[in-house]
């Protein structure tokens, strides 16, 4: 697992919704702050192992690492929005909602993401200009 100052977003590389979210973040991350890795990659497997040791059950859709702190589910999604300064005020307000409610909605979407948004046969391959932002 990479311990870095840049936030790293680990995502389900087969999920169309997750890939669309990564593309959105890339477009709106004007400071090029974020790094990315699919959960299916070596870096993704490493962060999942750390998460498993710390928290038990590992989410299969989204993990955000900021320095040595790891966020998952709705915390990861909302903190990502805050960091790219998109919908920042709304995301901060949503953090006030109890986590079990936020994660309930998040889990509903995550459970149905392939059915609602589709699934790729393989992980996305970043373009050459985006390669430096992706961990292997």
- pLDDT tens for each residue of 69-111: 999 999 999 999 999 887 788 888 999 999 999 999 999 999 9
Residue 132 lies in a domain: no
- Give the residue numbers spanning the domain of 95: 8-125
Task: Dig out the tokens for 130 from the structure.
Answer: 């985006």
Whole-angstrom CA distances from 56 to 61, 99, 126 are: 15, 17, 31
Going by C-alpha positions, the residue among 96, 99, 76, 68 that lies closest to residue 22 is 76
- Domains in the chain: how many in total? 1
Kindly give, in sequence order, each residue whose CB lies less than 8 Å from that of residue 14, ignoring residues fewer than 6 positions away.
38, 40, 114, 119, 120, 121, 122, 123
Q: What is the pLDDT of residues 11-28, one digit of tens each?
A: 998 899 999 999 999 989
Average pLDDT over residues 105-134: 84
Answer whether residue 59 is part of any domain.
yes
Domain contains 133: no
pLDDT of residue 12: 92
């Amino acid at each position: 697992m990479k311990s870095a100052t840049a936030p790293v977003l680990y995502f389900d590389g087969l999920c169309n919704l997750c890939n669309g979210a990564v593309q959105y973040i890339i477009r709106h991350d004007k400071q090029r702050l974020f790094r990315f890795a699919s959960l299916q990659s070596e870096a993704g497997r490493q962060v999942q192992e750390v998460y498993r040791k710390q928290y038990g059950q590992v989410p299969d859709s989204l993990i955000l690492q900021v320095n040595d702190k790891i966020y998952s589910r709705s915390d990861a999604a909302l903190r990502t929005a805050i960091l790219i300064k998109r919908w920042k005020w709304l995301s901060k307000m949503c953090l006030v909602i109890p986590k079990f409610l936020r994660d309930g909605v998040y889990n509903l979407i995550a459970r149905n993401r392939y059915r609602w948004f589709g699934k790729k046969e393989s992980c996305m391959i970043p373009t050459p200009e985006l390669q430096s932002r992706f961990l292997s």
